[in-house]
């Protein structure tokens, strides 16, 4: 996020508050080593196992894993006729993963003859994250995608006064929020459950995976008046970066108003 989105140096709108200029195209590429072992499984087989993986940072996109061709099990791959063209990287060839009767069509690609300005992509394959059944960073299973090396999450206990309203109904009010700062995103305020009107909320079946914080469980407003789906979320089993806000609720819905020290925030 910090490099390719928001106002990162590789984003479409890099910051003006710098004492340098970046010479080159508006669409920028950066390939950097990923420091840990990565594995991907499909149909019970290991499709790739690498200690030499690299992340490609590309303007406006999430980092993409590229691995040396030698670290992929080519017996599980079948070349297809599919191809795509990228004006920054060149023509991409594709392979389907097949294990038993299961197939992931066009799940892996490579720039076998990349453009001169991205020649370092030669000899590498790139998999679609969602094509694999499971991904591992060392021995830990990873959900969502590999963590960006330049992305971080910090949580600090705060003394700010936070109040959340739905129309004229107070849903939560606290003087002890967890302030979560995440690269490229606005601050979020997590409120202890004791300071939330849980009698007005019902946990929904909606789930969302964040590779930095964990799996979010959503809550809907079910008090008087119209129901409002997924008005808040919480991380009942957070990853280590968000452990300080375990079980606390965050409200960032278009229907609610969040006031911090008396001022409305987005």
Sheet strands side by side (includes 102-110): 29-33, 54-58, 64-68, 124-127, 102-110, 90-99, 77-86
The confidence score (pLDDT) of residue 24 equals 76
Would you place residue 45 in the very low, low, confident or very high pLDDT band (cuts 50, 70, 90)? very high
Would you place residue 235 in the very low, low, confident or very high pLDDT band (cuts 50, 70, 90)? very high
Overall average pLDDT of the 116-144 stretch: 95
Sheet strands side by side (includes 45-50): 45-50, 38-42, 134-137, 140-142
- Range name among 103-112, 143-152, 220-229, 237-246 with the lowest pLDDT average: 143-152
The confidence score (pLDDT) of residue 229 equals 97
Q: Residue written as tokens 């979010």?
A: 216
Domains and CATH numbers, the chain: 29-142 (2.170.150.40), 153-265 (2.170.150.40)
Overall average pLDDT of the 239-264 stretch: 96
The confidence score (pLDDT) of residue 26 equals 81
Quote the percentage of the chain above a pLDDT of 90.
82
């Amino acid at each position: 996020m910090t490099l390719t989105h928001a106002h990162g140096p590789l984003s479409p709108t890099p910051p003006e508050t710098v004492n340098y200029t970046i010479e080159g195209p508006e669409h920028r590429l950066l390939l950097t080593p990923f420091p840990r072992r990565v594995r991907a499984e499909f149909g019970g087989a290991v499709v790739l196992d690498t200690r030499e993986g690299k992340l490609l940072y590309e303007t406006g996109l999430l980092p993409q894993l590229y691995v040396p061709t030698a670290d992929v099990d080519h017996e599980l791959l079948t070349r297809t006729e599919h191809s795509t063209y990228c004006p920054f990287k060149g023509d991409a060839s594709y392979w389907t993963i097949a294990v038993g009767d299961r197939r992931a069509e066009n799940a892996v690609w490579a720039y076998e003859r990349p453009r001169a300005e991205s020649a370092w992509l030669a000899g590498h394959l790139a998999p679609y994250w969602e094509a694999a059944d499971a991904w591992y960073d060392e021995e830990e299973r990873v959900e969502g995608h590999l963590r960006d090396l330049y992305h971080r999450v910090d949580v600090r206990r705060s003394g700010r006064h936070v109040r959340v309203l739905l129309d004229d109904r107070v849903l939560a009010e606290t003087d002890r929020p967890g302030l979560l700062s995440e690269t490229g995103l606005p601050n979020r305020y997590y409120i202890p459950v004791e300071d939330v009107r849980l009698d007005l909320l019902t946990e929904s079946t909606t789930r969302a995976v964040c590779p930095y914080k964990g799996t979010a469980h959503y809550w809907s407003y079910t008090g008087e008046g119209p129901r409002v789906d997924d008005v808040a979320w919480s991380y009942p089993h957070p990853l280590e970066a968000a452990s300080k806000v375990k079980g606390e609720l965050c409200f960032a819905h278009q229907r609610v108003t969040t006031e911090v020290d008396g001022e409305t925030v987005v």
